[in-house]
Structure 1
């Protein structure tokens, strides 16, 4: 990624490169696409982790904001849906840009990559979302688990 001249030119660190700005914009669009989709629970946790950067309070705040976004999109009627989606996409773009701007150079690139990866992993435009389960019929005991590096043990039937 090629960064525009920042502090050395007197413009300060608030000038994001085009690549970082694009990553933030893509993240904002991913939030509004993911809200209400099958993979929303998975997406919102991953997104909050990116925003929180290891701070549990910041993650909880991000989860609350993500939930407000999902609720706003769910509550709006169809005539206003595109406008509300655009507003929330811009809000989340700003959130991601603020987080990126607050980081040092190596961490900026790493966060941008993580944001791009998240956006790719949840690509609602083609109907795929890693971690999503949909269109299935379960008859009898069923266990479904999604996520990274999870361990699950299930025992169905009598303990005998």
Structure 2
């Protein structure tokens, strides 16, 4: 059985992977998560890549982020549970690095939500800035 800290780490890893889906960071996060879940084995890593791709596809479809994060978090939890103490510490460090990678990239993304109905009329220039506002 995992400690509370390891369970929380696994859940945070699932959330981090889901947050990266659909962003520029996805390929890097996907590769690292698959390598971690596959523990370096060629076939297990390939299977993990396929599973992560299915997660991303579900998120683009009707999958909910909470469900997919839970699914990946459970996979990380199962991985950590099956390791001896030394390997668990190593995997936990890798998982923390994966989480940090997505946190570092969080400023690169802006989430929008809502629905717009109707035509857009007008002319001119629209400027959209990401990150800090330009200085004038």
Q: TM-score range by the shorter chain?
A: 0.7 to 0.9
Matched, 1:89 2:75: no
Distance 1:124 1:72, change over 3 A: farther
Aligned pairs (5 A) from 1:26-105: 26-76=12-62, 84-105=64-85
Q: Scaled by the length of structure 1, what TM-score is found?
A: 0.64
Question: Which residue pairs with 2:11 in the alignment?
Answer: 25
1:63 CA drift (Å): 0.3
Name whichever structure is richer in helix by fraction: 2
* Mapped partners of 1:125, 1:29: distance in 2: 14
Q: How many residues align?
A: 110
* Mapped partners of 2:70, 2:104: distance in 1: 18
Q: Check whether the contact 1:34–1:124 (CA below 8 A) recurs between aligned residues.
A: no
> 1:69-109: CA deviations, max 9, x gaps?
00111123xxxx6xx11111111111001011110011111
Residue 35 of structure 2: SS of its match in structure 1?
helix
* Mapped partners of 2:70, 2:105: distance in 1: 18
Q: Which runs of 5+ in 2 are unaligned?
A: 110-129, 131-136
* Poorly superposed stretches of 4+, deviation over 2 Å: 124-129
Q: What is the RMSD computed on CA atoms of the aligned residues?
A: 1.9
